[in-house]
């Protein structure tokens, strides 16, 4: 079913959704006007804090770029644009620190943190280092640990972070880079015209307006632009439910494996197990809609019931104490569009979200922000904001996330999972799979990696027919 959206190898259909021409805003624009001077930009930055002249009952702010959302993507975009001497205003609806999932960073995040200039601050916070990912399938009793490889474009390690602390570090870095932050505040009713965009702000009931030359939608699942000028399209058969909480005193692996993310697959879904520095572990369960449908009662009981179904998870939590409420996130599979238009781009989860199985969410959010910044900066300097000027960003983003979607589509197929958990070094397949899991294929996929992945997927497809002839299960759990 998912191929109807993304096409063969999760490419054509998905790229059509990402790259479909937006119909909300026209591209016709007046000729270029004189760009603002450095002094004018500095005045805009000052006015973002102090406010400008009153317009009726509302106080107006002006800035070059309005960023809606202060998560990893929004903070990254804000910091990079502020470092280029543009006035940036970030509007974040929640007060930090706050609880959030998406706690396992890929190795590809590490050089991005260096380029952003925030890696040292994160290291000082003392995150747990992860050197690999362990997958265990309860039905087949197969387990494999993928260790990230040295000698790639990315290092052989990532981090496990509590998002309350990590997101605060990123947002503070954006602020110290020159961006202004309104928090907590909500953005409403974007109105685009030839000269910019006007957005209504709500700060604890006090309403005001902000006028910006450009808007970055980093609002995540809220879909600020999708809910106002675009639309959100659900991904068939990937509407799942996640239940998650933090526990103190859970068991830890020894040695180099202590920081590994662990994935436990069972018939009703799968668990993530993410250890943090100290003694806290994030344990979450992603359930097929079929499992949750028709169930009544508190989510705590459902969460505990799922833990009891996976002995390895239950044993690991036997002496642990849950230190947060059980949280729930449902129906988190969608594609928003348009993602670019006259005077706006969307980044991170404001573009799309499908499945957290490979921990790519934070990396895609931050990397999409970094990808978008050059096009935004050029538009601001030349005062040319037509949609076509952001097509390269749109195309590069689709190319970068393609490998993750290839794996997500097939992950729920028993025939694929069997091959995935028994990888071989034949024709570089193990290195290619590990490279995708590390995020190393986002910018560039060498031809050797491309060939190796094609061989890997071909073998998985052959295994489908072998299992079918043997009378073994082949039904994809995507259909659940």
pLDDT digits (tens, 9 = 90+) for 103-152: 999 999 999 999 999 999 999 999 999 999 999 999 889 999 999 987 67
Give the pTM.
0.84
Mean pLDDT over the full length of the chain: 84
- Structure token pair of residue 108: 């590809």
Per the DSSP assignment, residues forming a β-bridge with 65 are 88, 214
Taking residues 315-323, report their average pLDDT: 96
| pLDDT band at residue 332 under the 50/70/90 scheme | low
Section 243-266 average pLDDT = 95
Task: Give the residue among 421, 480, 429 at the shortest CA–CA distance from 457.
Answer: 429
DSSP conformation class of 358: T
Ordered domains of the chain (ranges, CATH): 3-98+165-235+333-401 (3.50.50.60), 104-161+240-330 (3.30.9.100), 413-479 (no CATH)
Both structure tokens of 168: 């605060």
Band the pLDDT of 279: cuts 50, 70, 90.
very high
d(CA 167, CA 11): 31
Q: Which of 43-47, 67-71, 186-190, 443-447 has the lowest mean pLDDT?
A: 43-47
- Reported as a pLDDT band with limits 50, 70 and 90, residue 404 is confident
Average pLDDT for residues 55-74, to the nearest whole number? 82
CA distance 331 to 218: 19
Q: Is the model's pLDDT at 22 over the cut of 50?
A: no
Q: Tell me what percent of the residues of the chain surpass a pLDDT of 90.
A: 55
What backbone torsions phi and psi does residue 80 show, to the nearest 5 degrees? Answer: -65, -40
Mean pLDDT score, 144-173: 91
pLDDT at 349 over 60: yes
How far is residue 424's CA from residue 414's CA, in Å, rounded to a whole number?
18
């Amino acid at each position: 079913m998912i191929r109807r959206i993304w096409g063969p190898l999760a490419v054509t259909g998905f790229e059509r959704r990402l790259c479909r021409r937006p119909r909300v805003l026209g591209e016709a624009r007046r000729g270029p006007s004189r760009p603002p001077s450095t002094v004018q930009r500095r005045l805009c930055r000052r006015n973002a804090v102090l406010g400008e002249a009153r317009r009726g009952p509302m106080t107006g702010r002006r800035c070059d770029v309005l960023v809606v959302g202060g998560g990893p993507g929004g903070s990254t975009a804000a910091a990079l644009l502020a470092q280029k001497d543009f006035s940036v205003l970030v509007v974040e609806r929640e007060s930090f620190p706050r609880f959030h999932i998406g706690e396992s960073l890929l190795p590809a995040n590490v050089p991005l943190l260096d380029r952003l200039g925030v890696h040292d601050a994160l290291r000082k916070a003392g995150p747990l280092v992860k050197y690999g990912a362990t997958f265990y399938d309860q039905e087949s009793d197969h387990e494999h640990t993928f260790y990230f490889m040295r000698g790639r474009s990315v290092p052989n390690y990532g981090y496990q972070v509590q998002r309350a602390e990590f997101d605060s570090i990123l947002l503070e870095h954006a602020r110290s880079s020159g961006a202004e932050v309104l928090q907590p505040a909500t953005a409403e009713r974007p109105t685009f015209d030839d000269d910019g965009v006007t957005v209504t702000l709500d700060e604890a009931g006090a309403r005001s307006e902000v006028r910006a030359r450009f808007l970055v939608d980093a609002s995540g699942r809220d879909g600020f632009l999708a809910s106002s000028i675009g639309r959100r399209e659900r991904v068939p058969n990937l509407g799942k439910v996640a239940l998650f909480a933090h526990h103190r005193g859970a068991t830890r692996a020894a040695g180099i494996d202590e920081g590994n993310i662990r994935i436990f697959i069972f018939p009703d879904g799968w668990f993530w197990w993410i250890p943090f520095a100290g003694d806290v572990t994030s344990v979450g369960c992603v359930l097929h809609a079929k499992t949750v449908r028709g169930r009544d009662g508190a989510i705590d009981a459902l969460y505990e019931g799922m833990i009891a179904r996976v002995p390895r998870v239950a044993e690991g939590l036997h002496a642990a104490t849950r230190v947060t409420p059980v949280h729930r996130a449902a129906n988190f599979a969608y594609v928003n569009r348009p993602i670019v238009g006259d005077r706006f781009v969307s980044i991170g989860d404001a573009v799309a979200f499908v499945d957290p199985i490979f921990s790519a969410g934070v990396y895609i959010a931050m990397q999409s922000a970094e990808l978008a910044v050059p096009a935004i900066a050029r538009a601001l300097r030349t005062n040319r904001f037509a949609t076509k000027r952001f097509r390269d960003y749109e195309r590069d983003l689709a190319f970068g996330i393609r490998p993750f979607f290839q794996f997500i589509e097939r992950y729920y197929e028993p025939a694929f999972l069997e091959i995935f958990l028994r990888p071989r070094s034949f024709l570089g397949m193990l290195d290619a799979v590990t490279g995708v899991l590390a995020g190393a294929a986002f910018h560039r996929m060498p031809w050797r990696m491309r060939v190796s992945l094609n061989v890997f997927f071909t073998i998985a497809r052959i295994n489908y027919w072998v299992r079918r002839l043997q009378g073994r299960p082949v039904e994809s759990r995507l259909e659940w």
